[in-house]
A and B are shown apart, each in its own frame.
Chain A
Amino acid sequence: MTINLKTIKHISKLSRISVNDEKAKKLAGDMNSIFDFIEKLKELDTDNVEPLTSVAETTLKLRVDEVKSGNIREQVLKNSPDENEDFFVVPRVVE
């Protein structure tokens, strides 16, 4: 299997990481060598094997949806990258 530049551009869109042509070329090379390595899995017959999603054999517990660490709004907003008092600010989305 080979990953071409078109595929790289597609994945870059999906992962919201902008990629110029030079970077795409480098990524394609790296990913092809990594996938050559990964292809080894195809040797194994796994038809009757159940996929393992988690080794923690516990069922996820339900809990009440309640606020436990309240009144830290200021500390939370202090980390936001754009100056503001009350909101997270993003570039205009509605023209």
Chain B
Amino acid sequence: MSDITSLTLTDLVKSIKDKKISSEETTKAFIDRGEKSRDLNSYITEDFSNAIDKAKAFDQKPNFDLKLSGIPMAVKDLFCTNGVKTTAGSKILNNFIPPYESTVTQNIWNEGAILLGKLNCDEFAMGSSNETSFFGNVQSPIDKGLVPGGSSGGSASALAANLTPITIGTDTGGSIRQPASFTGTVGLKPTYGSCSRYGIVAFASSLDQAGPMSKNVKDCALLQEIISTYDEKDSTSINFKRNAYSKELTNNIKGKKIGIPKEYTVDGMPKEIEDLWTKGIEYAKDCGAEIVEISLPHTNYALPAYYIVAPAEASSNLARYDGVKYGFRSKGENLIDMYEKTRSEGFGEEVQRRIMIGTYVLSSGYYDAYYIKAQKVRKLIKNDFDEAYKKVDAILTPSTPSAAFKIGEKTNDPVSMYLNDIFTVPVNLAGLPAISIPAGVDAKGYPLGLQIIGKAFDEQGILNIAYAMEEKIEFKNKITDWWIK
């Protein structure tokens, strides 16, 4: 058998069910590789010894009727895990042990999976390169000194480096799709209301969604099937008929209409991205899809609207971190002084910047000019998609305007960092599902992704298109293990 850690989730599930390998062997293989890969800084918290105990317990009394029988996996440190430290990449939560479990992770454990540990991310998921984490940069396994993307950077790095067979991230403006694109992996942002937000550290509540990150589309469909459930504990969870995504997965997309929005281009976008997009269109045609030119005229306004809506919601959500009930506390002369010092010392620079932007746009005199204005623009962006979906079944775009960049390259220029999310943000504003699949490499050999955007609740439709295109693209990630001594 080939190396356990390089297997896809689907193959690993089958190998365990066929009793070719035990859960303990599998878990140990991922732990061994994790221990050799600490230079990547993918983990914030390793839960390895508990994982081995759970794997042994599974092997003693195995249940092979589950979808993830005995499968070890690591998750983004934004999901609350009962009894296991959950930091959201922040100093202000660096000692927080949740007394409850997020619904999404609970769904995963209910199917027999085992927690390996908690993966690094940008602080409160605010970042596009994993450089805002209190626990340090994450290295991309693709090349030394390269960012894995963000905010689910630890998740992308661990997955591409074979430290976990599959993982979950969260996506508020591109935080699953952009790191997937940067690391040659698959990432799905589901429809808003598909996966429960209960127990996920909140960033911007009207945009946040959890979703799977995987080595291929089939694995992605399997995990989506598990994590997408209606949940009373999330007031915006939506009760719709969910497909059996992995069972219903098909590469037959003949006659599907795929829209190409001419606005998805930016000044100075590398020709490689343009070429990748053209190639993607050819692949879609080869699969029998029909290509339709469409227009999403307000695309250029999505990012500025996002940088009002997301910080506004963040400033409100992060008001809870006051040093009183949990987390880091600084000494103060009085209560107010304690609050101000706690938040000043506990939050990093990017988080403080966003809280300040959010507070400003919500403050008296600016609320209408900024916040209400942004919500109106959000409506226009959603209308653009509604119009387009009268003519097409899905939309194909590049995932990002460039390949991964070097650590430190964009840290001093917030706006250039924000521009990374220009193709992913409109999807969150409109609440739609979208998947990024690896589709090629740039001149340096760094992976590039294509994004397929679907109608609301049509995860199955975009998974099928991704599945069909994946077969044509035949992408192979080149990981050299450069970090292992």
Contact = CB atoms under 8 A, between A and B. Distances in A.
Given A17-B340, A19-B344, A88-B324, A11 B356 contact: yes
B4 interface: no
A67 interface: no
Contacts of A11: 356, 359-360, 363
Contacts of B334: 91-93
B118 to A, nearest CB: 16
Contacts of A12: 356
Contacts of A78: 97
B96 A79 contact: yes
A27 B375 contact: no
Interface stretch (B26-34, B252-260, B377-385, B467-475): B377-385
A6 interface: no
B388 to A, nearest CB: 16
A64 B334 CA distance: 38
Contacts of A41: 301, 304-305, 308, 373-374, 377
A93 B336 CA distance: 9
Task: Identify whether the interface residues of A are mostly helix, strand, loop, or mixed.
Answer: loop
A21 to B, nearest CB: 14
Interface in B342-365: 343-344, 347, 352-353, 355-357, 359-360, 363
A63 to B, nearest CB: 7
A61 B315 CA distance: 25
Contacts, number: 159
A31 B380 contact: no
Interface string A13-37: 0111111000000010011011001
B360 A31 contact: yes
B329 interface: yes
A31 B301 contact: no
B97 A79 contact: yes
Contact of A75 (B99, B359, B372): B99
Given A38-B304, A46-B376, A79 B325 contact: yes
Report the interface size class on chain B: 35 or more
B359 A14 contact: yes
A54 B236 contact: yes
B355 A40 contact: no
A93 B334 CA distance: 7
B322 interface: yes
B424 to A, nearest CB: 16
Interface in B302-333: 303-305, 307-308, 315, 319, 322-329, 332-333
Given A18-B340, A50-B379, A38 B308 contact: yes
Contacts of A38: 304, 307-308, 370
Given A15-B359, A40-B300, A79-B326, A51 B376 contact: yes
A58 B338 CA distance: 40
B206 A53 contact: yes
Nearest to A57: B238
B352 A34 contact: no
A52 B415 contact: no
Given A11-B360, A16-B343, A44 B353 contact: no
B318 to A, nearest CB: 9
A49 B305 CA distance: 14
A25 B238 CA distance: 44
A87 B424 CA distance: 45
Interface of A: 3, 7-8, 11-12, 14-19, 27, 30-31, 33-34, 37-42, 44, 46, 49-56, 58, 60-61, 63, 69, 72, 75-76, 78-82, 88, 90-93
Given A14-B363, A16-B339, A91-B337, 9 more contacts: A11-B363, A16-B319, A16-B336, A16-B340, A18-B341, A53-B206, A54-B236, A78-B97, A90-B335
In the complex, the 3 A-B pairs of residues with the closest C-beta atoms, listed nearest first: A55-B431, A51-B375, A81-B329
